[in-house]
Amino acid sequence: MNSRTTLSRQHIRRHSLAYDNGRRAAAARRTRACILRAAADLFLANGYGATTIREVARAAGVSQETIYKSTGGKAPLLKAVWDVTLAGDDEDLPLAARPEAQAVRAATNPDQAATAYAELAAVVSARTDPLLRLLLGARGSDPALGEFADEVDAERLAGSSAVVRHWFAAGWIRPDLTAEKAGQILWALNSPGPRWHLLDIGWSSAEFTTWLADTIRRSILA
């Protein structure tokens, strides 16, 4: 066997291994997507407490062991469902890197910034509110839900603070506010409570978005 034949076989072997690895990764991703869809449907239909890994496995057409290997137990599964719901899909792309979030950073003045942020909040809340209402409403029934609520709040505060730091660097924050305080105000304005209170008494999503943008302008922007 000459060196050219050996190199050719090695190339074929490497190509075959890469192809097999790609197929396995794609299959694992499809399986994970099925698990997350099934879990989301069951959480919404039955609540967190009444949903079991066995039921999720049955609905997804996989074994319970597959779920534990893919996402972990029920609490990590809930967080995975939340992350996909928040982003809108299971692509490996954080919310901050998506077009609706990039529009906030692309704003060229405070008025555009407030509008872009309120529109981002509307997009995200439309995706997450059904699940969030259900889970936060039952958080006293399970320690895992309390931990989930705390984690979601912390992530939202981190996101609000990151946006405000960008605005602060641009000179758009009121001079009597620190970046930290302004981030906390933005976090509070975009918390579920105000949104749900107003939507539940009959406000449309568009009305709330307009109110949020205007309130951001008045509260923290110069």
Exposed/middle/buried for residue 45 (C-beta within 10 Å: 0-12, 13-18, 19+)? exposed
Beta-carbon contacts of 130 under 8 Å, excluding residues fewer than 6 positions away, are 44
Which range, of 2-6, 82-86, 146-150, 210-214, averages the lowest pLDDT?
2-6
Mean pLDDT along residues 26-34: 86
For residue range 46-56, what is the model confidence (pLDDT) as tens digits?
A: 999 899 999 99
Residues in the chain: 222
List phi, psi (to 5°) of 174: -50, 140
pLDDT value for 181: 98
For residue range 137-187, what is the model confidence (pLDDT) as tens digits?
A: 888 888 888 888 899 999 999 999 999 999 999 999 999 999 999 999 999
Q: Which H helix or E strand runs over 146?
A: helix 143-169
Gap between the Cα atoms of 45 and 78, Å rounded:
14
- How far, in Å, are 98, 146, 204 from residue 88 at the CA level? 10, 23, 22
Which range, of 75-89, 118-132, 159-173, 184-198, averages the lowest pLDDT?
75-89
Gap between the Cα atoms of 145 and 91, Å rounded:
25
